[in-house]
Amino acid sequence: MMQRRAVLLGLTALTGCGFELRHEPVLSFQTLALTGFPPESPLAAGLKRQIKRTPVQLVEDPARAQVVLEALREYRDRTVVASTSVGQVREWSLRLQFDYLIRTAAGELLVPKVELRLSRDMNFTETDALAKEQEAANLYGAMHSDAIAQVMRRLAAVRLQN
Protein backbone atom coordinates (compact mmCIF):
# COMPACT_ATOMS: atom_id res chain seq x y z
CA MET A 1 0.00 0.00 0.00
CA MET A 2 2.81 2.42 0.91
CA GLN A 3 4.72 1.46 -2.20
CA ARG A 4 1.69 2.23 -4.37
CA ARG A 5 1.33 5.66 -2.72
CA ALA A 6 5.00 6.38 -3.38
CA VAL A 7 4.60 5.50 -7.04
CA LEU A 8 1.49 7.68 -7.37
CA LEU A 9 3.23 10.54 -5.62
CA GLY A 10 6.21 10.19 -7.96
CA LEU A 11 3.96 10.20 -11.04
CA THR A 12 2.12 13.26 -9.74
CA ALA A 13 5.44 15.07 -9.28
CA LEU A 14 6.51 14.20 -12.84
CA THR A 15 3.28 15.46 -14.41
CA GLY A 16 3.57 18.72 -12.49
CA CYS A 17 7.01 19.44 -13.95
CA GLY A 18 5.88 19.07 -17.58
CA PHE A 19 7.23 15.54 -18.05
CA GLU A 20 5.54 13.76 -20.94
CA LEU A 21 6.15 10.30 -22.33
CA ARG A 22 7.58 10.23 -25.82
CA HIS A 23 4.88 9.71 -28.40
CA GLU A 24 4.74 9.00 -32.11
CA PRO A 25 5.44 12.06 -34.27
CA VAL A 26 2.41 13.50 -36.06
CA LEU A 27 2.96 13.71 -39.83
CA SER A 28 1.19 16.49 -41.76
CA PHE A 29 0.87 14.65 -45.08
CA GLN A 30 -1.11 11.64 -46.29
CA THR A 31 1.25 9.73 -48.63
CA LEU A 32 4.96 8.92 -48.50
CA ALA A 33 7.34 7.04 -50.79
CA LEU A 34 10.72 5.62 -49.78
CA THR A 35 13.29 5.54 -52.60
CA GLY A 36 16.97 4.82 -53.03
CA PHE A 37 17.28 2.23 -50.27
CA PRO A 38 19.36 -0.88 -50.94
CA PRO A 39 17.51 -4.21 -51.06
CA GLU A 40 16.98 -5.74 -47.59
CA SER A 41 17.79 -2.41 -45.92
CA PRO A 42 17.19 -2.57 -42.15
CA LEU A 43 16.57 1.19 -42.15
CA ALA A 44 13.89 0.94 -44.85
CA ALA A 45 12.22 -1.95 -43.01
CA GLY A 46 12.24 -0.02 -39.73
CA LEU A 47 10.91 3.13 -41.37
CA LYS A 48 8.10 1.15 -43.00
CA ARG A 49 7.16 -0.31 -39.61
CA GLN A 50 7.11 3.16 -38.03
CA ILE A 51 5.09 4.69 -40.88
CA LYS A 52 2.51 1.91 -40.62
CA ARG A 53 1.87 3.07 -37.04
CA THR A 54 0.70 6.44 -38.41
CA PRO A 55 -2.24 7.35 -40.68
CA VAL A 56 0.22 8.03 -43.55
CA GLN A 57 -0.02 5.65 -46.49
CA LEU A 58 3.18 4.26 -48.01
CA VAL A 59 3.13 4.24 -51.81
CA GLU A 60 5.57 2.48 -54.14
CA ASP A 61 5.42 5.08 -56.94
CA PRO A 62 7.20 8.32 -55.88
CA ALA A 63 5.18 10.25 -58.48
CA ARG A 64 2.00 9.47 -56.51
CA ALA A 65 3.39 10.54 -53.12
CA GLN A 66 3.05 13.93 -51.47
CA VAL A 67 6.43 13.44 -49.80
CA VAL A 68 9.42 11.36 -50.93
CA LEU A 69 12.17 10.25 -48.56
CA GLU A 70 15.15 9.61 -50.81
CA ALA A 71 18.07 7.61 -49.40
CA LEU A 72 21.33 8.81 -50.91
CA ARG A 73 23.68 6.57 -48.93
CA GLU A 74 23.29 3.84 -46.35
CA TYR A 75 26.55 2.37 -45.14
CA ARG A 76 27.76 0.57 -42.06
CA ASP A 77 31.26 -0.52 -41.21
CA ARG A 78 33.62 -1.31 -38.38
CA THR A 79 37.18 -0.20 -37.85
CA VAL A 80 39.85 -1.21 -35.36
CA VAL A 81 40.32 1.40 -32.64
CA ALA A 82 42.83 -0.45 -30.45
CA SER A 83 44.95 -3.56 -30.83
CA THR A 84 47.64 -5.38 -28.87
CA SER A 85 51.33 -5.37 -29.74
CA VAL A 86 50.84 -8.69 -31.57
CA GLY A 87 47.96 -7.36 -33.65
CA GLN A 88 44.97 -8.76 -31.77
CA VAL A 89 41.95 -6.48 -31.90
CA ARG A 90 40.91 -5.07 -28.52
CA GLU A 91 38.33 -2.46 -29.55
CA TRP A 92 36.11 -1.84 -32.57
CA SER A 93 34.30 1.28 -33.67
CA LEU A 94 30.96 0.44 -35.31
CA ARG A 95 29.60 3.14 -37.61
CA LEU A 96 26.36 3.79 -39.44
CA GLN A 97 26.18 6.45 -42.13
CA PHE A 98 22.86 7.45 -43.62
CA ASP A 99 22.42 10.36 -46.03
CA TYR A 100 18.95 11.31 -47.20
CA LEU A 101 16.78 14.17 -48.34
CA ILE A 102 13.06 14.83 -48.26
CA ARG A 103 11.31 16.24 -51.32
CA THR A 104 7.97 16.40 -53.05
CA ALA A 105 7.12 14.19 -56.03
CA ALA A 106 7.74 17.22 -58.27
CA GLY A 107 11.29 17.52 -56.91
CA GLU A 108 10.80 20.50 -54.58
CA LEU A 109 13.27 20.13 -51.73
CA LEU A 110 11.54 20.06 -48.33
CA VAL A 111 14.58 19.07 -46.25
CA PRO A 112 18.05 19.41 -47.80
CA LYS A 113 20.57 16.58 -47.65
CA VAL A 114 20.97 15.26 -44.10
CA GLU A 115 24.15 13.39 -43.21
CA LEU A 116 23.38 11.18 -40.24
CA ARG A 117 26.45 9.66 -38.56
CA LEU A 118 26.20 7.29 -35.61
CA SER A 119 28.95 5.29 -33.96
CA ARG A 120 29.42 2.96 -31.02
CA ASP A 121 32.63 1.59 -29.54
CA MET A 122 32.86 -2.04 -28.51
CA ASN A 123 35.65 -3.88 -26.70
CA PHE A 124 36.64 -7.24 -28.15
CA THR A 125 38.32 -10.44 -27.00
CA GLU A 126 39.04 -13.47 -29.18
CA THR A 127 37.76 -15.86 -26.51
CA ASP A 128 34.29 -14.26 -26.67
CA ALA A 129 34.17 -13.79 -30.44
CA LEU A 130 30.70 -15.31 -30.93
CA ALA A 131 29.17 -13.27 -28.10
CA LYS A 132 30.88 -10.13 -29.42
CA GLU A 133 29.32 -10.67 -32.85
CA GLN A 134 25.91 -10.75 -31.16
CA GLU A 135 26.81 -7.60 -29.23
CA ALA A 136 27.79 -5.89 -32.51
CA ALA A 137 24.45 -6.91 -34.04
CA ASN A 138 22.65 -5.46 -31.02
CA LEU A 139 24.63 -2.21 -31.25
CA TYR A 140 23.84 -1.89 -34.97
CA GLY A 141 20.18 -2.51 -34.13
CA ALA A 142 20.26 0.27 -31.54
CA MET A 143 21.88 2.63 -34.06
CA HIS A 144 19.20 1.76 -36.63
CA SER A 145 16.47 2.50 -34.06
CA ASP A 146 18.10 5.83 -33.22
CA ALA A 147 18.41 6.75 -36.91
CA ILE A 148 14.77 5.82 -37.56
CA ALA A 149 13.61 7.96 -34.64
CA GLN A 150 15.62 10.92 -35.96
CA VAL A 151 14.20 10.51 -39.47
CA MET A 152 10.64 10.30 -38.08
CA ARG A 153 11.18 13.57 -36.17
CA ARG A 154 12.44 15.17 -39.41
CA LEU A 155 9.37 13.92 -41.27
CA ALA A 156 7.14 15.37 -38.53
CA ALA A 157 8.73 18.79 -39.11
CA VAL A 158 7.85 18.75 -42.83
CA ARG A 159 5.13 21.24 -43.80
CA LEU A 160 3.71 21.21 -47.33
CA GLN A 161 2.76 24.41 -49.16
CA ASN A 162 -0.93 24.52 -50.02
Where do the structural domains in the chain lie, given as residue ranges? 2-157
**2-157 CATH fold:** Double Stranded RNA Binding Domain (3.30.160)
Q: What are phi and psi of 135, to 5 degrees?
A: -65, -40
pLDDT at site 79 = 86
Q: What is the mean pLDDT of residues 138-143?
A: 93
Answer for the pair 119, 95: CB distance below 8 angstroms, yes or no. yes
Q: What is the mean pLDDT of residues 102-117?
A: 94
Left if phi > 0, otherwise alpha if psi is -120 to 50, otherwise beta: which for 9? alpha
Residues composing the chain:
162
Question: Judging by DSSP bridges, how do beta strands 89-103 and 109-123 pair with one another?
Answer: antiparallel
pLDDT in tens, 10-67: 666 655 566 565 666 788 899 999 999 999 999 999 999 999 999 999 999 999 999 9
